[in-house]
Structure 1
Amino acid sequence: MKCVGVRVMNNGGRRIGGGKLEHGAAETTTPTSTPDYPDGLVGNWGWCWYLNVLHGRTSMLWYSVPTNMESNSPDLGLEELLNTTSTKPSILSERDRAILALYDEEEEIRLEKSLIEARHALPDQDVSEDDVDALLQAAEREALEARAAYLIRNKIVQSVLVTDPVLKAVHAGLNATPAERKLLPLLHQRDILAMYHTTLTSTLSTASSAVTAVERDNIAANKKNQQLTATLLGLVEATKPQATEDIQDARTRAQLQTLDSELRAARKRWRVMKGVVSGVIVGSGVDWASDKGLRELVMDDEEELG
């Protein structure tokens, strides 16, 4: 949401959506500029209030929100919102670019100057090994303090340099300079992207919570699978056939060993006979592939009988 026009109301006059004024008789005006919506975005006009601290009065701001970006809109396409960024050339003139370049160069020179001064400020006297650790700790502490002071100063300067043009672009109204009028659509687009960033952050938080819940359920399922696997292994061990060597009765064990020998001999004879019959059928030239019985006899698995 970005305010794009200003109209001061006396005594805190309030504008109702229908159009009439309450608690004030000031007239209203149309917005000073129309937001530049890219393809697919349609705007709805509204009003918002802010307290003008500098002038001690309440002012009304026109603002516009794309209808397909309202909170009740279920699907906000990333491509559609990213298309709200400006495709126009930069509003900075050559003089503005030169000023910014000189500002960056000045910051680099200041930093180099500080480094040179710190290097020359080092004492030339020899330091004993016992005092090296203490001096290093003191130097690290001073470096951290200097870095913090440097960053704070830069942030304050940048905030002042950035905030002043933004406030003038938003609140100047008809008195805005051409540069401030050019800056206003960019501020509007920045707010649109900020709104979308908030939506993405909320979606990401919801997705992260869902992933955490799924991971927790997965851990519980893995533990349950381990328990079921242990139970299954126990059942398999319990139903495992008893080996001949485990039988305690010598007579029964001897009978089982005899039967096992006879079974192995019978399997060997069956394999030999099956191989001979399969070779005869294949070598006879008979179309055994078309006959189901012959096909099963030739291609039958020899390991079927164990």
Structure 2
Amino acid sequence: MKDSLGREIDYLRISLTESCNLRCIYCMPEGVAPKVCGETLTKENIFDIVEVAVELNIKKIRLTGGEPLLRQDIVEIIQGIKDRGIEKIYITTNGILLSEKIEKLKKAGLKGVNISLDTLDREQFNYITRGGDLERVLQGIEKALNLNLEVKINSVIMKDINENAIEELAKLTLNSQLDVRFIELMPIGQGKKFTGISNNDIYDRLEKIFEFDRNYKEIKGVSTYYKLKNSKGNIGFISPINSCFCETCNKIRLTSDGVIKRCLNSKGNTNIKEYLDKNVEKEEIKEILEQEIFKKPERHLFGKDNKDEELKNMNAIGG
């Protein structure tokens, strides 16, 4: 369906958990108590929402976290979403558990995976993730590629942290059928403690090192894609801070505890789980979701005086 500004909203992101097996420095503090089970969307909650979303012409669903692969019922969730009419099912993951679960996920209906990876340097990776195992992530990426899934690498570049990772990350696109996307650091939660590098600067740096294919430029949703000459994959830029893409935003979000978020950096207004747990009629759930989509704001307010600013860390938002 369309929002009040005429944008077609056909993409729903559902966070499955606030918990994570990493503690990335810009995402969450070292010690975070996960929500108890009763506060988190159940498998049945998710299926009820998906049934309504299909009626509202939602065509794509991405499962996020925290770390979605920590959910023991992740395969059943993907299968249930597919059974309810959604073909475009994706996950965003840190990749630690990907290798051991990817085959079952694909069989259940998974179409693609976004892996958060900010460096290929093991020492740097260990610092950013506070102890993550880079080898396990790389194994997961390789296995996903071998299974012919759509693979995208999401990379956040921070000043004085991993600026030197840009070139090596870009090189991944030369010989592998995957996209590397540079996402500007967003000033949310722990992210406010660091300084991001603008995507304009990243592009300029890459242009001094590589030759770009001047015949290729494509805008897909909130991403602008380029290609290095003779590369198999693409390099994408998602630039919420320095190049607002809100006019093309087609998504709405659901946190792991059921709060509907019209925009990433604004607080949610409605907890749909509270209605689902009371077994309200399907038409009422549909009306709630319909109204939330319709009221999606014109643009984000990063850097503005925003009384509705989201104060939670990214793992609690489902970014």
TM-score, with length taken from structure 1: 0.17
Bigger strand fraction: 2
Q: Which has the higher contact order (CA 8 A, sep 6+)?
A: 2
Larger radius of gyration: 1
Higher helix share: 1
Please report the TM-score for the alignment, with normalisation by the length of structure 2.
0.17
